[in-house]
Structure 1
Amino acid sequence: MEEPIEDREIVFLLADDHSIVRQGMAILIDEIVPNARVYQTSSLLQIVELIESKGVEIAVIDAHFPDGNSLHILSQMKAANPNIKILVFTGLEEDLHVLKFIKAGANGYVSKLSEEEEIRQAISDIVQKGEYFSALSRNLMVQFVHNPDLINPLSRLTNRELQIAEMYAEGNGNLEIANHLNIKQNTVSTIKKNIFEKLKIENLVELIDLVKTHHKI
């Protein structure tokens, strides 16, 4: 008979390049799972190695690290331990990013902007149920069945908009883009505004992040 959650040792991995985030999450885990054994890393490259060497059962990971994007190692994490449960804990907007992480193998997704109670619920659910998804995420999953393009927000863009988004991500400015495409600068500005509205973003940093995440340039 399986021991109660509270009494069984569970091996966690906290992967985030910000120490304060890891420490805060470690405190919550200690309160929810008193016998948890918690390992920490700030490096994306160490995640799979720690899963293999420490017998990690639950990984709480950020979406982005200085050395890369965690989306692309979820499959490696699952290969290292097919039973591992992965909770993505990130500042990225849920409606734009959750589906791609689910498709890649995540068992849960919670925003760093969430109230403490929701983060506690996410930890508790990932331990007891093996998954945590908000009502928004579940709604998006249902929508995805009928509209697979939801998983990639860049699919909302026209070919020209995607072309210009890629050029911004490559470091080009309005003048360079206008000259390269032989169009007016104000046309580039108008298209940029349309791109921002369609993707629900406010600046080039967010655009570059989306392009690098969803589209190979």
Structure 2
Amino acid sequence: MRNFLLIDDHEIVRAGIASVLSELFKPSNIYEASDEATAIQRLKERPYDLIIMDVYIPGTDSFGLMEYIRAQYPEFRVLIFSMSAENIYASRFLKAGAKGFVSKNSGLAELKKAIDLVLNNRRYISSDLAEHLASGLNDKNSTSPFEKLSGKEFEITMMLISGKTTTEISRQLGISTSTTGTHKARIFTKLGVKNLLELVEMGNAFNLRKQ
């Protein structure tokens, strides 16, 4: 019997995915989490054949959660199912260990295809994302400026955009405020912004959602 974990703050989304999984896999156990704390607790309880999670979950560092899953449970397969900008987030989460990225704008058939591929230890990316990644190889100007950032810098960028202070970021990541300040300075330099307002405006321009 397969075990699935759904991490999404919208109950109706979890119910919809659960319905799809129940139809495809009989019998199966489906567990849910609406926030980071609950997700971590669920992860500790049992092994999972597949984890389906959103990028944008209020109060949750989803990128950090993805890295936590990869570090603590490398055998767990993760499929990202999100409304967040595919061209910005997909490559980040795939590099962090996710096996696939599906837009919530995709049809049911596409979601089923992604689930099947990931469960069979294969990767899934949409045709649009594949085209975007391919064009990025040939056109350096076509990629997002956020691609210049390291994983840690991108994580801190998302926290800054969400309104977290240097102290809050340091506490959440378990690093000193001076280290956070150094990361922040590097982020501003790499992105060519002078202050937090410009960073937020750039984030809005590239459809980075506040978390």
Structure 1 length as normaliser, TM-score?
Answer: 0.66
Match of 2:44 in 1: 52
Tell me the secondary structure at the aligned position of residue 67 of structure 1: coil
Q: Which amino acid aligns with 1:80?
A: Q
1:167 paired with 2:160, answer no
- Contact 1:45/1:67, CA 8 A, preserved across alignment: no
CA pair 208-16 structure 1, distance change in 2 beyond 3 A:
closer
Residue 80 of structure 2: SS of its match in structure 1? Answer: strand
The answer as to whether partners of 2:53 and 2:78 remain within 8 angstroms in 1 is: yes
Structure 2 length normalisation: TM-score?
A: 0.68
Question: How far apart, in 2, do the equivalents of 1:102 and 1:17 lie?
Answer: 21
- RMSD of aligned residue pairs (Cα, Å): 3.3
What's the counterpart of residue 94 of structure 1? 86
Map Cα deviations across residues 15-67 of structure 1 (whole Å, 9 max, x no partner): 10000000000000111122221100101122233122121221000102122
1:69 aligned to which of 54, 61, 64:
61
Question: Are the counterparts in 1 of residues 5 and 48 from structure 2 also a CA contact under 8 Å?
Answer: yes
Residue equivalent to 1:112: 104
Asked if the contact 2:7/2:51 (under 8 Å) is kept, the reply is yes
Q: Extract unaligned runs of 5+ from structure 1.
A: 1-8, 171-191, 213-217
Question: How big is the shift at 1:142?
Answer: 4.5
- Equivalence for 1:126: 118
Please state if 1:10 is matched with 2:2: yes
Does residue 153 of the first structure (1) align with residue 146 of the second (2)? yes
Q: CA deviation at 1:136?
A: 2.8
Distance 1:73 1:101 in 2: 10
For residues 82 and 16 of structure 1, do their structure 2 counterparts lie closer, same or farther at Cα, with a shift above 3 Å needed?
same
- 1:163 match: secondary structure: coil
Contact 1:107 1:132 in 2 (8 A): yes
Segments of structure 2 that go 5 or more residues without pairing to the other structure are 150-187
Classify 1:26/1:125 alpha carbon distance in 2 versus 1 (closer, same or farther; 3 Å): same
Residue 31 of structure 2: aligned partner: 39
Deviation at 1:114, TM superposition (A): 1.0
Q: Alignment length, in residue pairs?
A: 172
C-alpha distance after superposition, 1:62-85 (max 9, x if no partner): 102122231111121122321111
**What displacement does 1:159 show?**
5.8
**Considering only CA atoms, is the larger Rg found in Structure 1 or Structure 2?**
1
Identity %: 22
CA apart distance, 1:10:
1.4
Q: Is contact 2:86-2:103 (8 Å) kept?
A: yes
Equivalence for 1:28: 20
User: Quick one: structure 1 residues 29 and 41, their matched pair in 2 at CA, closer, same or farther if it must change by over 3 Å?
Assistant: same
